[in-house]
Amino acid sequence: MRRAVTLFIISELLKLVVLPLAKTYSFFHYWIDEKKSLKDWFYNNAITTDMLGNVNGEWLEHLLTKRRNTLFGKRNITISQSVGELLIEGDYKPLAVTFCKVLDWAFNEPNHCINAYNQLKKNGSN
């Protein structure tokens, strides 16, 4: 437990000090490098933030389902994949459907959450 807490404290300090500098440097590196795409930079950062949101997603779990053993709170899983699991298994509150429709719109992809969950299952990540 002590080691986990120590690692968490170190990671939070790095997030406050190093991450802003690293993101700024990385952004300009992608912008200047002809072989890299800013689209990739934005996408990679969005996915990483999404996964962080899922790791701390117990509040979403509470809002979207009555179940407590879901993909929310697990690492390397996106919020879309977690919501997709709820929709496929039929264990969701009405707000989950609305939430998924917003993600469908944002990603310009019908059934985005279900597709994301099916991709996760296909890749064997769960």
Domain coordinates in residue numbering, the chain: 1-35, 37-123
Give the DSSP H or E segment for 29: helix 2-32
Give me the chain's average pLDDT, please. Answer: 93
The two tokens of residue 5 are: 């807490």
Dist CA 75 CA 109 (whole Å)? 24
pLDDT band for position 87 (cuts 50, 70, 90): very high
The two tokens of residue 24 are: 């700024």
Helices (H), 33-78: 38-55, 58-64
Q: Residue 125: its pLDDT value, please?
A: 60
At residue 126, the 3 state secondary structure works out as coil
Q: Evaluate if residue 114 carries a pLDDT over 60.
A: yes
Q: Evaluate if residue 58 carries a pLDDT over 70.
A: yes
